[in-house]
């Protein structure tokens, strides 16, 4: 827990505070995480029982979630890692504004960008900092 809340709860709260995120989903195969997601008013997407779940890359759960949600080609999706909670309240809205301004289709943002990726930080500008 961080400040009394589970990590996944912080990610849900941060997404719900964004002006550009309409719905919050949590993809999990864990009952405890599903319970936390439900408590914090996120929709739960139950993952299948993948035999290699501990070895799978992050794209499989993300693609499974997209399939379950039934996303449209023009839908914008944020894939938020629950373990990255050091975000400012406006980070998602700033990222979406920058995305629209630049006109890019896909973007990846990590909590470590402020400390370790100075070249990328200079390229995308201070709006996300």
Give SS3 for 117.
Answer: coil
- What is d(CA 125, CA 129) in angstroms, rounded to the nearest whole number? 8
Same domain as 71, residue 31: yes
Both 61 and 77 in one domain: the answer is yes
Which of 112, 89, 93 minimizes the C-alpha distance to 101?
93
pLDDT confidence band for 105 (50 / 70 / 90): low
Q: Please report which confidence band the pLDDT of residue 3 belongs to, taking 50, 70 and 90 as the band edges.
A: confident
End-to-end alpha-carbon separation of the chain, Å? 25
User: 110 with 48, same domain?
Assistant: no
**Residue 45 and residue 68 in contact, taking contact as beta carbons nearer than 8 Å:** yes
Look up the pTM and report it. 0.74
Pair (91, 80) in one structural domain? no
Q: Nearest Cα to 14, choosing from 94, 101, 73?
A: 94
Which tokens hold the place of 77?
Answer: 């999706």
| pLDDT reported for residue 89 | 76
The domain in which residue 68 lies consists of 1-85
If asked whether residues 97 and 63 sit together in one domain, one would say no
Number of domains composing the chain: 2
Together in a domain, 36 and 77: yes
CA–CA dist 28, 31 (Å, integer): 8
Predicted local distance difference test score (pLDDT) of residue 113 = 40
Do 61 and 113 sit in the same domain of this protein? no
Task: Give the number of other Cβ atoms within 10 Å of residue 102's Cβ.
Answer: 11
């Amino acid at each position: 827990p961080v400040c009394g809340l589970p990590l996944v709860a912080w990610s849900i709260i941060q997404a719900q505070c964004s002006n550009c995120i309409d719905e919050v989903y949590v993809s999990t195969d864990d009952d405890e995480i599903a319970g936390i997601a439900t408590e914090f008013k996120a929709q739960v997407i139950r993952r299948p029982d993948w035999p290699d779940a501990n070895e799978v890359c992050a794209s499989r759960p993300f693609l499974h979630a997209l399939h379950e949600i039934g996303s449209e080609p023009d839908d914008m999706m944020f894939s938020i890692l629950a373990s990255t909670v050091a975000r400012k309240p406006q980070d998602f809205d700033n990222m979406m504004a920058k995305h629209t301004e630049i006109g890019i289709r896909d973007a990846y943002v990590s909590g470590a960008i402020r400390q370790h990726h100075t070249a990328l930080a200079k390229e995308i500008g201070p709006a996300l900092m």
